[in-house]
């Protein structure tokens, strides 16, 4: 396969002038900018030691020589010459790319020291044997097409190139061998499968990290905005409070001065001064309580708004993360399919007449292939382990992302909101335990076959496998028959063991409580009663009504009178009646009631002891 039209042409010798002309010809390669110098005389010179790229194509070069000074070359292109031997480049240890295509090379040699080589092109030469490539452990691309490689046995040598990912053998006599294709596929296919899987997972993971960091930054901006607005409101409230205290101080000072100048002598004067003092105290108390109430109301509203915004970002982030896990799961499935196909090809090859004598297969590989059951178990077992770890990580992420109370409590009304609509999570309760089944959106999501169970206590409906409203709305399972109880048990096993759905909380059945029974709900969950209605304030109100909150004295109580008066006095906490409340106080109570109704779920009513 000699170069056409070259044999009788005048051959060239590599010289400094040739190198300089090639470097400076047309535009200078960007990699060589530091190696070229613009002299004051207008002539360019080349610093050979700094050259990174050199192309000596189509120069009729017969022998590789005079490259001693080019010790930092990374890329050398000497295609379309008349080179007979690979020589004179053993010192170019920085080379990563070498093109010797379209020459007259008959033997691969002289490359032992080029251990950084990644891309080697020997296309269209006279090579009949693959050899002397053992040290090129980083070689990824090898092109030896249009040579004289005749048998598949010679291809076995390439097993030493662990990093090889691209192999071109097109145009060699070996390509006509019936077994050629299977040899090549088995040589590089598994490596490419592993690389492809690893690279795609890495890329997907890096991409989602960037996206989720952006979502985290969005949450941080929301929190910073809330903190700023609350600080402003708090500053306004503080100034108003100081102004009211100053007003009271002036009244008190005036009364003291008046009394000091001329003490009241009659009972009527004493009563007047006392009444004026009490009025000033009451006014100060009312104003300060009003300011505090306004600040609390602002905080409630701001926190509610913040919760909604953070929940929206959280839902979007969970959706993105879920999609990422599905993408990785699909990559794993594709990898599994590829390995399964490769195993089938190897089994087919082993089944041929000379399969037992095939040097391509190691003894260990042959032993595994001879035990087909063990092979299938190994492939399937590996796949199952990978999928299992993936799903376990997804569950862990989901549990960590549920930025709620560890043992969250749901009323049936609150549970209905988690039905998967609008990218919301999908929760299903069975016997009072709430599971997050969001990863099975294709079963329980909107429009899917089991969507009617979403956002419900579905024990009865699942046990009866019923979509009837009478069963979907009914939480009583006391009348289930034996078969229905067994079906329900299977569903629980499926939720807890097979699918391992994370538990996110418990269902609180609406119930009536006495004031004594209500007093037990001061930690988790936290209940507050208002006008005879019991509200679960755990979610959204724990920071206020919980053990460390400013309104903790209202927890586990009927706080009707105390909230109307904005009072923590024991007599008001113990006496929840509305008797004697002023019109202003009744309006304050109505505002509190409206707020509770819009923010908290009802769990029952107060009943007489």
Q: Are residues 48 and 127 in the same domain?
A: yes
Helix, strand, coil percent values for the chain (each to nearest 5): 55, 10, 35
Both 345 and 449 in one domain: the answer is no
> DSSP of 490-540, one letter per residue?
HHHHIIIIIS-PPEEEEEE----B-HHHHTT-BSSSBEEEETTEEEE-HHH
Highest mean pLDDT among 249-253, 302-306, 365-369, 495-499: 249-253
Q: Is the pLDDT of residue 103 over 90?
A: yes
Residue at a domain's end among 337, 370, 401: 401
Q: Which residue has the higher pLDDT, 237 or 45?
A: 237
pLDDT (mean) for 2-25:
73
- Examine the fold and report which residue of 376, 401, 426 is the final residue of a domain before the chain moves on: 401
From 154, 157, 203, 198, select the one nearest 175 (Cα to Cα): 154
Encoding tokens for residue 591? 């505002």
Query: How is residue 498 written in tokens?
Result: 């097979």
Q: Which of 445, 475, 506 is the last residue of a domain?
A: 506
Does some domain include residue 190? no
Q: What is the pLDDT of residue 359?
A: 56
For residues 372 and 351, give the distance between their C-alpha atoms in angstroms, rounded to a whole number.
12
Residues 485, 542 within the same domain: no
Give the mean model confidence (pLDDT) for residues 105-120.
93
pLDDT digits (tens, 9 = 90+) for 367-410: 667 777 777 877 888 888 888 887 777 777 666 655 444 446 67
Tokens of 555: 């927890």
Judge whether 522 lies within some domain. yes
The predicted model gives 167-191 an average pLDDT of 73
Q: Are residues 42 and 118 in the same domain?
A: yes
Average pLDDT over residues 153-166: 77
Whether 210 is covered by a domain: the verdict is yes
The answer to whether residue 193 sits within a structural domain is no
Looking at the fold, whether 346 and 210 belong to one and the same domain comes out as yes
The reply to whether 185 falls in a domain is no
The pLDDT value given to residue 381: 80
Instruction: Note whether 354 and 232 are same-domain residues.
Output: yes
Instruction: Please check whether residues 542 and 480 belong to one and the same domain.
Output: no
Residue 7 lies in a domain: no
Confidence class for position 7, pLDDT limits 50, 70, 90: very low
Model pLDDT, residue 77: 93
How far is Cα 478 from Cα 393, in angstroms, rounded to an integer?
37
For residues 450 and 591, state if they share a domain. Answer: no
- Asked if residue 206 and residue 312 are part of one domain, the reply reads yes
Domain that holds residue 548: 515-605
pLDDT in tens, 33-70: 777 765 444 456 788 888 999 999 999 999 999 999 89
Q: Residue 425: inside a domain, yes or no?
A: yes
Q: How far apart are CA 499 and CA 328, in angstroms?
A: 18
**Tens of pLDDT, residues 198-216:** 777 777 778 878 887 888 8
CATH (domain of 117): 3.80.10.10
473 lies in the same domain as 373: no
Same domain, yes or no: 172 and 271: no
State yes or no: pLDDT of 3 exceeds 60.
no
Residue 186 in domain: no
The pLDDT, as a whole number, for residue 40 is 41
Locate 384 and state its tokens.
């199952």
pLDDT tens column, 434-449: 888 888 888 898 988 8
What is the rounded average pLDDT for all residues in the chain?
81
pLDDT score, position 297: 76
Instruction: Using a pLDDT cut of 90, give the percent of the chain over it.
Output: 17
Q: How far is CA 72 from CA 15, 53, 66, 111, 267, in A?
A: 18, 9, 14, 16, 110
Encode pLDDT of 129-148 as tens digits. 999 998 998 998 889 989 99
Task: Find the length of the chain.
Answer: 609
* Highest mean pLDDT (candidates 237-241, 400-404, 475-479): 237-241
The reported pLDDT for the residue numbered 26 is 61
Domain tally, the chain: 4
Domain of residue 432, CATH code? 3.10.120.10
pLDDT value, residue 121? 94
119 phi/psi in degrees, rounded to 5: -130, 120
pLDDT at position 403: 43
* Residues 155, 299 within the same domain: no
């Amino acid at each position: 396969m000699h170069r056409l039209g070259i044999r009788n042409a005048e051959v060239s010798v590599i010289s400094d002038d040739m190198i300089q002309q090639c470097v400076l010809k047309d535009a200078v390669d960007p990699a060589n900018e530091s190696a070229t110098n613009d002299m004051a005389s207008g002539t360019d010179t080349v610093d050979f030691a700094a050259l990174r790229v050199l192309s000596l194509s189509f120069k009729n070069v017969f022998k590789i020589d005079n490259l001693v000074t080019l010790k930092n070359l990374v890329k050398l292109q000497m295609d379309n010459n008349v080179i007979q031997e690979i020589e004179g480049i053993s010192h170019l240890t920085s080379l990563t790319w070498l093109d010797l295509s379209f020459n007259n090379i008959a033997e691969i040699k002289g490359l032992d020291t080029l251990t950084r080589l990644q891309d080697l092109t020997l296309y269209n030469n006279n090579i009949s044997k693959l050899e002397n490539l053992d040290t090129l452990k980083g070689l990824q691309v090898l092109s030896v097409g249009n040579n004289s490689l005749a048998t598949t046995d010679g291809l076995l040598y390439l097993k030493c190139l662990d990093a090889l990912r691209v192999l071109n053998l097109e145009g060699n006599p070996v390509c006509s061998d019936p077994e050629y294709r299977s040899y090549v596929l088995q040589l590089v296919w598994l490596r490419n499968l592993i690389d492809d899987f690893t690279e795609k997972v890495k890329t997907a993971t890096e991409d989602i990290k960037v996206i989720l960091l952006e979502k985290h930054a969005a949450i941080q901006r929301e929190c910073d905005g809330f903190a700023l607005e609350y600080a402003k409101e708090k500053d306004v409230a503080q100034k108003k409070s100081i102004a009211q205290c100053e007003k009271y101080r002036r009244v008190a000072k005036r009364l003291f001065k008046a009394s000091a100048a001329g003490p009241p002598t009659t009972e009527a004067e004493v009563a007047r001064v006392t009444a004026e003092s009490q009025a000033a105290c009451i006014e100060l108390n009312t104003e300060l309580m009003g300011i505090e109430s306004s600040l609390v109301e602002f905080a409630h509203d701001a926190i509610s708004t913040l919760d909604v915004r953070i929940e929206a970002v959280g839902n979007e982030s969970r959706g993105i993360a879920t999609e990422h896990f599905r993408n990785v799961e699909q990559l794993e499935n594709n990898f599994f399919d590829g390995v399964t196909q490769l195993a089938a090809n190897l089994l087919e090859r082993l089944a041929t007449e000379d399969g037992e004598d095939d040097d391509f297969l190691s003894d260990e590989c042959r032993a595994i292939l001879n035990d087909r059951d063990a092979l299938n178990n190994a492939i399937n077992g590996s796949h199952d382990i990978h999928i299992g770890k993936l799903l376990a990580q997804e569950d862990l992420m989901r549990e960590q992302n549920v930025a709620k109370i560890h043992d969250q409590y749901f009323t049936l009304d609150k549970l209905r909101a988690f039905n998967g609509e609008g990218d919301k999570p999908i929760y299903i309760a069975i016997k009072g335990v709430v599971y997050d089944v969001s990863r099975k959106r294709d079963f329980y999501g909107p429009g899917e076959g089991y969507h009617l169970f979403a956002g419900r206590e579905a024990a009865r409906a699942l046990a009866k496998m019923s979509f009837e409203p009478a069963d979907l709305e009914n939480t009583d399972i006391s009348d289930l028959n034996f078969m229905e109880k067994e079906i329900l048990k299977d569903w629980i096993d499926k939720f807890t063991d097979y699918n391992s759905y994370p538990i996110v909380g418990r269902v609180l059945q609406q119930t009536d409580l006495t004031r004594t029974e209500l007093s037990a709900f001061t930690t988790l969950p936290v209940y507050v009663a208002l006008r005879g209605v019991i509200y679960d304030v755990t979610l959204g109100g724990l920071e206020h009504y919980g053990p460390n909150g400013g309104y903790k004295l209202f927890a586990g109580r009927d706080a009707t009178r105390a909230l109307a008066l904005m009072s923590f006095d024991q007599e008001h906490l113990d006496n929840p009646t509305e008797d004697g409340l002023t019109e202003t106080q009744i309006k304050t109570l109505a505002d509190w009631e409206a707020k509770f109704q819009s923010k908290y779920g009802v769990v029952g009513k107060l009943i007489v002891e």
